[in-house]
Structure 1
Amino acid sequence: MEVMRTLHAVIIAVLVTAIIVGGILYYFLSTAPKPKANLLEIYHWWTSGGEKAAIDALVAVFQEKYPDVGVIQSPVAGGAGYVLKAVMKSMVAAGEAPDSFQIHAGYEMKPYIDGGYLEPIDHLWAQQGWEEVFPAVVKDMVKWGGHYYAVPLNIHRANVLWYNKKILEQHNIDPASLETWDGFFEACEKLRREGITYPIAMGGIGKWEIAHALEQILISQGVDFYQDLINGKLSDPNDPRLVNAFNIFKRYMDYVNPDYATLTWDQAVAKVIRGESVFTIMGDWANGEFLVANKTFNVDYGAIPVPGTKGVYVLVVDCFQKPKGARHPENSEKWLIVVGSKEGQDAFNPIKGSIPARLDADINKYGPYQRSAIQDFKNAQYMAPSIVHGSGAPEKFASAFNDVASAFASNRNVQEACNGIINAIQAAKNEYVKEWKLIP
């Protein structure tokens, strides 16, 4: 009987001990911090077929190097990134920034710099030797207060005039004759006489498409003039170069499809592809639209610098950076290293239609248009940042610039537009913090 009582006591003691130990283990297991998932979350605005294929190719390079990291892509549709900008500003302000997000180099970065939302990445630039492989203007576009805050992935050219080559041949128009505005408008008039009423295709549903065309016309008035514009140094609404630019734009609009305000940029390009129009001014992301339509460069279509801009390369530079408070900071830096690598850029850009921001590209990986663009880039007399695509001027001016362009396309009032440009410069006067030096 005594043995049984002892046995019961031992069993009870064991059970009590198990319950206590189990409770302690449960407490620590349920309250101890759980390890973070090994992830990388990136935001971008590349959602069309060719764009998605390009970013997927870049992600594939990353995952080959870091197979243990899961990549979450969060694309936000919207031409030129205007939708993503609004989304990202609210996210970073709320402390919810992803590990990296797409941004244009230049002034588009300034609100994030001013808000303290980005980490300087000088150590990565030093480790990876990026100082030696990116051109000076591009380096300046991602540097603020003496520190690097982003890594350039690609370069698009903004000042491109695309044309339907077969239609020009049918009407005996030599593309070389389009290098001046007089020659270009003579070609437009000839095409109109011969049955193509609106030879220029343009979109305008987002306003920026109109501003994009105006920007290239302004650059055609001289790099010194454009340098003064983006440095906020124009003050006279009667400046003959400014007036002449709007007179050119007024004549340009005479040949534009009347439904421009209802079309996106790619729908305008499609009009050229179909032969409904002959010309369109758009960045070289348009090349992808021709390729998707199974058109061959220099057979079905061609491209030259916008009239008056030969020797100028207007830069649209896409970048990624490291937000402050990124959930996976080590993976954020790994991503930036791949973005800035030769391997990453030569995987992404041949598909995207852009050229690499690095100067040591493997040119054999690129198509005929891109090979010509790489050569033009290396030989460019001038490089200039785009206002419309976030780089060249303060956001306050760029927004007003879009409005001025859109209003002018409708009312064609030259004096009102010139006044609007000068007023927009004055309103943003305190925000011009970069001194662009475009002329060597």
Structure 2
Amino acid sequence: MKSNRILMVAAGASALALGLAGCGGTDGGDGGESGGNAEVEVFTWWAAGSEKAGLDALVGVFDDQHPDTKFVNGAVAGGAGSTAKDLLQSRLQQGDPPDTFQAHAGAELQDYIDAAQVEDVSDLYEEFGLNEAFPADLIDRLTVDGAIYSVPANIHRANMVWGNPSVISDAGLDPEAEYASLDEWIDALEEIDASGVTALSVAQPWTQVNLLETVLLAGLGADSYEGLWSGETDWTGAEVTAALEDFETLMSLTNDDRDGLDWPDATQQVIDGDAAFNVMGDWAEAAFQEAGAEAPADYVYFPVPGTDGVFDFLADSFTLPVGAPHPEGAKAWLDSVSSAEGQEAFNMAKGSIPARTDADTSEFGAYQQTAVESFQSDTIVSSLAHGAAVPVSVLNQITDATSKFTTGASDLATYQEELAAAAGE
């Protein structure tokens, strides 16, 4: 039965709800969009690989739907948007916003809302019919004090394992094995490590935080995992300590060059047979497809052991910044992002699934079909690493603490204390 427990972002935001007519920032009050000069600068971190393929597919739909509006690509490279978010914050503080920017739906938006940097787009939900097109649970997750501040392009699942069956077989293990618990999977990883092959590939710290959240989810269960973000679960408790010990063990089985890599590199190690497994969101599916791999012959996938039946949710979404220089261009982009055609093209290329319930997914791949079914039936929780569970400021603290721990600059007890402090305990 699908969970109705909704992780709401913190209430009490002092949001500035301005209409489209009030957000132009250029001379003449038309946002510079008169005389055939309509454009939209779209700020994302989709600069390469399958992410860029998804963006290109969405741009193709946009060009068809809004041929008189020029798309300006503001993509900034950097996994999970760490570089892009820093540049974006600088631009927003300087009063130089893009027309729209990518953000993860959920608590990540809270800092922008508190700073009055994004508009309430609830009126667009009415205009585009999105209140009926998106699932009620998703609408609830997007709503802050009765207002909505972004339009989701997709739904991703973060708690997935991707494996190379040849590497697994060469280590004497069954590539089709199902692991009932994290402990069982760790036993298998240790056997692979003993064979001389990297058991689990990871990359720079944000991918390590992605791994961390799945270990916490496996160790605590959905309710207590959600309690970490609501304050109902004690970060200093024994269950969290045990989960962090599992995380420490998993990190000991990873590649030594991890901090110099981004997620495509870590996934590529599995594709190339240099690593057995990788924990990554289902954007990895598009990377396997791009490499010409076919499941289950070339790769296998399954939820992180201990998290089966739970969908660790995130969504890429787009905003309307306060002071956007081309608000009508931004509105046109949000129209395409939320359309069935846009969501079908984008998600087919990116490995995710549409946020719209009426989108046609009949041509989607086998993995995506399982994701559609899981999102409809599994318990849904919010991703830590990808902005759904906590604001950017909290995530940054957790990422810094994780980096210190995995590079040996702190011990487990200190790490747990720093995580508790980041969460406000």
Which residue is equivalent to 2:405? Answer: 408
Which residue is equivalent to 1:101? Answer: 101
- SS of 1:222's equivalent in the other structure is helix
Deviates more, 1:84-93 or 1:275-284: 84-93
Which residue is equivalent to 1:229? Answer: 228
- SS of 1:336's equivalent in the other structure is helix
- SS of 2:74's equivalent in the other structure is strand
Report the CA distance between 1:160 and its aligned residue.
Answer: 0.5
Which residue is equivalent to 1:435? Answer: none
2:346 aligned with 1:348: yes
- Report matched runs for 1:13-412 at 5 Å: 35=34, 37-170=37-170, 171-193=172-194, 195-204=195-204, 207-220=205-218, 221-235=220-234, 237=236, 239-380=237-378, 382-411=379-408
Q: Which amino acid aligns with 2:302?
A: I
Report the CA distance between 1:182 and its aligned residue.
Answer: 2.1
Deviates more, 1:263-272 or 1:150-159: 263-272
- SS of 1:304's equivalent in the other structure is strand
TM-score (norm: length of structure 2): 0.87
Q: Which amino acid aligns with 1:222?
A: G
Residue 185 and residue 143 in structure 1: after superposition, are their counterparts in 2 closer, same or farther (change >3 A)?
same
Which residue is equivalent to 1:14? Answer: none
Residue 420 and residue 63 in structure 1: after superposition, are their counterparts in 2 closer, same or farther (change >3 A)?
same
Q: Distance in 2 between matches of 1:154 and 1:236?
A: 31
Contact map agreement 1:197 1:255 (CA 8 A) in 2: no
- SS of 1:224's equivalent in the other structure is helix
- SS of 2:174's equivalent in the other structure is coil
Residue 147 and residue 173 in structure 1: after superposition, are their counterparts in 2 closer, same or farther (change >3 A)?
same
Q: Distance in 2 between matches of 1:210 and 1:369?
A: 23
Contact map agreement 2:104 2:386 (CA 8 A) in 1: yes
Of Structure 1 and Structure 2, which has the larger fraction of its residues in helix?
1
Contact map agreement 1:202 1:256 (CA 8 A) in 2: yes
Q: Distance in 1 between matches of 2:235 and 2:350?
A: 40
Stretches of structure 2 that go unaligned for 5 or more consecutive residues are 1-27
Contact map agreement 1:196 1:277 (CA 8 A) in 2: no
RMSD: 2.1
Report the CA distance between 1:196 and its aligned residue.
Answer: 3.2
Contact map agreement 1:234 1:422 (CA 8 A) in 2: no
1:395-428 CA-partner distances (Å, limit 9, x unpaired): 23211111222222233732222212212222xx
Report the CA distance between 1:340 and its aligned residue.
Answer: 0.8
Contact map agreement 1:102 1:319 (CA 8 A) in 2: yes
- SS of 2:153's equivalent in the other structure is strand
Deviates more, 1:347-356 or 1:121-130: 121-130
- SS of 1:75's equivalent in the other structure is coil
Q: Distance in 1 between matches of 2:49 and 2:310?
A: 30
Q: Distance in 1 between matches of 2:176 and 2:413?
A: 32
Contact map agreement 1:173 1:187 (CA 8 A) in 2: no
Q: In the comparison of the two structures, how many residue pairs are matched?
A: 391
Q: Which amino acid aligns with 2:399?
A: N
Higher Rg:
1
Contact map agreement 1:201 1:256 (CA 8 A) in 2: yes
Which residue is equivalent to 2:19? Answer: none
Q: Which amino acid aligns with 1:401?
A: I
Contact map agreement 2:202 2:255 (CA 8 A) in 1: yes
- SS of 2:163's equivalent in the other structure is strand
Q: Distance in 1 between matches of 2:112 and 2:81?
A: 15
- SS of 2:42's equivalent in the other structure is strand
Report the CA distance between 1:350 and its aligned residue.
Answer: 0.4
Q: Which amino acid aligns with 1:407?
A: K
Where relative contact order (Cα < 8 A, 6+ residues apart) is larger, the structure is: 2
Deviates more, 1:123-132 or 1:274-283: 123-132
1:294-349 CA-partner distances (Å, limit 9, x unpaired): 21122210110001101111112111121222222222212211111111100111
Q: Which amino acid aligns with 1:390?
A: G
Report the CA distance between 1:383 and its aligned residue.
Answer: 0.9
Q: Distance in 1 between matches of 2:77 and 2:193?
A: 36
Q: Distance in 1 between matches of 2:117 and 2:154?
A: 23
Which residue is equivalent to 2:5? Answer: none
Stretches of structure 1 that go unaligned for 5 or more consecutive residues are 1-30, 430-440
Report the CA distance between 1:174 and its aligned residue.
Answer: 4.9
Q: Distance in 2 between matches of 1:292 and 1:53?
A: 9
- SS of 2:384's equivalent in the other structure is coil
Q: Distance in 2 between matches of 1:270 and 1:133?
A: 36
Contact map agreement 1:160 1:283 (CA 8 A) in 2: yes
Q: Distance in 1 between matches of 2:301 and 2:89?
A: 36
Q: Distance in 1 between matches of 2:95 and 2:363?
A: 40
Which residue is equivalent to 2:13? Answer: none
Contact map agreement 2:224 2:232 (CA 8 A) in 1: no
